[in-house]
Amino acid sequence: MWFCNYAKSYSFNLGTARKNEKEMPHVSFMKHTTHEFLKDLKTHHPQILPRFASNQEDRKYQFWQRNSLPVILYSQKILEQKLDYIHHNPTAGKWNLASDYVEYYYSSAKFYEEEIKDFEFLVDYR
């Protein structure tokens, strides 16, 4: 994964994806992370699990927005524009999660600005 930013009600993730024979890469990502969220919450945080309960017939829990679509980043300029938006989002007035975007822990900003790798899954895109 190249960039990330996680907050209370959203997640931004950018990276390369390989298509498999069964489904689109973002669908695989959502299925895998849903399985991991569910496993972790059942084991370590069962009191939080009811927050994700769903009334839909095809699922007991809902972690991701339905029908979310990936955005294709077709040039380096667009990729860097999205990177800038993602990294600065935690300091936006609506969220105000940090006073300095580089200091927001759940972001890859520190990795790119200060070369500090808090998350092993990050890979520099350049």
Q: Any idea where the domains of the chain sit in the sequence? A: 18-68, 71-126
Distance of alpha carbon 89 from alpha carbon 94, whole angstroms:
9
State mean pLDDT over 19-39: 82
In this prediction the pTM is: 0.65
Contact of 67 with 30, CB cutoff 8 Å: no
pLDDT tens readout for residues 39-91 = 999 999 999 999 999 999 999 999 888 877 777 788 889 889 988 988 998 89
Instruction: Give bridge partners of residue 14 from the DSSP assignment.
Output: 3
Say how many C-beta atoms besides its own lie within 10 A of residue 4's C-beta: 20
**Structure confidence at residue 1 (pLDDT):** 47
